[in-house]
Copies of this chain bind each other. A is one copy, B any other.
Amino acid sequence: MRYLPLTDTDREEMLAKCGASSIDDLFVDVPEVARLDGPIRDLPMHASEMAVERHMKELAGKNLAAEATPFFLGAGAYRHHIPASVDTVISRGEFLTAYTPYQPEIAQGTLQMLFEFQTQVARLYGCAVANASLYDGSTACWEAVAMATRVTRRNRAVLSGSLHPHYAQVVKTMAQFTGDEIATAQPAITPEPNLDTLTSRIDEDTACVVVQYPDILGRVCDLSTVAEAAHAKGALLVVVNTEPVALGALKSPGEMGADIVVGEGQALGVGLQFGGPYLGLFAVRDPKHVRQMPGRLCGETVDAEGKRGFVLTLSTREQHIRREKATSNICTNSGLCALAFTTHMTLLGEKGLRQLAAENHRLACLAADRLEKVPGVSLLNHAFFNEFTVMLEGKPAREIVRDLADRGILGGVSLGRLYPGVEALEHALLVAVTENTTEDEIETLASELEAVLTQETQMEPAQ
């Protein structure tokens, strides 16, 4: 076994040292009922690297990689170009095979990286403090709601209808057990989100109002009024962002008065990976809320010789110290994804991020204009960043998406898949465009979409 260094002689010598005559002697405490004689049946035996590689490549070969096709999917996961050096960095054994930095004297690499990461995230979000990462955007969203209930001692959260439905699902799932009350709504198919209906739902029992920016339909609008409305009622504004690149062009949530800003960091450094591992970002605008934050925090300090160094700090918030009184039960977070994110962000810098955002927006505008020209297609958004919603005549968007896939094009996300059973959204298609998208691919999408829309309806095999 290529991964197991003990030789049979080693095993004999070591068993002897343990006063055991066979390995079974070390498992005596396992009750009879639970002992297995040989290796578990119905499972294959060990295999060579060559054989395993063949098997895995065969499975990988059954997937249509984004790089191999015109690609317009978004809805909370975006495909950006990741510089080659990012993988060089996260592949360094000292980062890859380290644990949570519990021994800071030999974990300064991870700790300084996290300190830089926290600073980048805080600045991107327009906040004072960011933590060292959570699992992903959706769980970060729930942690924000939970934190808001702790801060305000209220237990009602108002979710905007245009919050990513998976995120809303996660919040509702958690809340049903904590007894928190979650007020949700369906997204209204309007060119601009209707903030008045949202603010009107805020009352004296409201701990927080949760708004996505840009929202699930790709719409962007100024949230200052929501912040004011929330603050007026003593509630917090939680802003959710699923596309960090957008904040290289758009005003930050912090600037608009958000109290807690959470989001998905996958777009930078991490990649698509079929949905995980991703990167939960979590920041607060006001430092006074720091002690209510979930997750790890890295802080600056000095060592016995007065040299600057970094440590995990404020651990009294955490489960390993506070146990049932912890601000969250999270332990392992998304360390390596944070490293990928911060490395990519360092390569971009202020200049690169703004250029990247501009290029994304330029191509998205191009795509929106072009698709609008397709008969049967109308653009919903007034404003957007790199993702927008188009309404399709005729067949439901979910079938159109399948038709396009059959033509080797991943043309977008049908809102019908995200909102099963919601009539109003059946014909809405969410189209995302990044720097990875070529103008040719936009043209291809437009023409193929036209072809699909005009071909007479026919039943498609179930997805």
Contacts and interface: CB of A to CB of B under 8 A. Distances in A.
Contact of A436 (B50, B81, B88, B93): B50
A49 B91 contact: no
Interface string A66-102: 0000000000000001011000100111000000000
A32 to B, nearest CB: 38
Nearest to A96: B88
A12 interface: no
A203 B236 CA distance: 98
A435 interface: yes
B84 A50 contact: no
A50 B81 contact: yes
A50 B81 CA distance: 7
Contacts of A49: 81, 83-84
Given A50-B436, A88-B93, A91-B91, 4 more contacts: A2-B347, A49-B81, A50-B435, A92-B93
Interface residues of A, number: 14
A373 B135 CA distance: 60
A53 B347 CA distance: 17
A289 to B, nearest CB: 38
Contacts of A88: 91, 93
Interface string A424-448: 0000000000011000000000000
A27 B377 CA distance: 60
12 contacts: A2-B347, A49-B81, A49-B83, A49-B84, A50-B81, A50-B435, A50-B436, A53-B81, A88-B91, A88-B93, A91-B91, A92-B93
Interface in A391-430: none
Contacts of A53: 81
A53 B83 CA distance: 10
Contacts of A2: 347
Pairs A-B, 4 closest by C-beta atoms = A50-B81, A49-B83, A49-B84, A49-B81
Interface in A31-60: 49-50, 53
A12 to B, nearest CB: 19
Contacts of A81: 49-50, 53
Contacts of A436: 50
Contacts of A50: 81, 435-436
A347 B83 CA distance: 31
Contacts of A435: 50
A2 B49 CA distance: 37
Nearest to A84: B49
A81 B48 CA distance: 10
Nearest to A81: B50
A84 B91 CA distance: 13
A93 B95 CA distance: 14
Contacts of A93: 88, 92
A34 to B, nearest CB: 36
A9 B50 CA distance: 53
A53 B435 CA distance: 14
Interface in A122-180: none
Most buried by B among A49, A84, A92: A49
A6 to B, nearest CB: 15
A354 to B, nearest CB: 15
A327 to B, nearest CB: 38
Most buried by B among A83, A84, A347: A83
Interface in A226-242: none
